[in-house]
Amino acid sequence: MIWFGAAVSISVGYFFWIEDPRLHAILIGLTAAFLGIVLCLIIVNDRPFVGDTAVQPDAYRALLDLVANAPR
């Protein structure tokens, strides 16, 4: 769905009438670049607990210990 939405967003840009074709190409290119960056970030951040830049569970464990040992 995300890829389809990106394709639709880029193709809709061709329906807007801009007299300068170079400016139109720049706008479409910027839209495509933005959508590419968003898709790349979605793919990279799909599994935050796996890989070289994984989120370590230390902070979660410390918070769990703090909540579990809190006085009532």
Q: Is the pTM of the predicted complex or chain greater than 0.85?
A: no
Rounded CA-CA distance 8/45 in Å is 23
> Per-residue pLDDT for 1 more than 80?
no
Q: How far apart are the first and last CA of the chain?
A: 47
**Domain residue ranges of the chain, discontinuous segments joined by +:** 2-68
Three-class secondary structure of residue 5 per DSSP: helix
**What is the per-residue pLDDT for 67?**
92
- Are 39 and 3 within 8 A, CB to CB? yes
The predicted-structure confidence for 4-22, as pLDDT tens digits, reads as follows 887 888 888 778 888 898 9
- Are 37 and 6 within 8 A, CB to CB? no
- Are 32 and 26 within 8 A, CB to CB? no
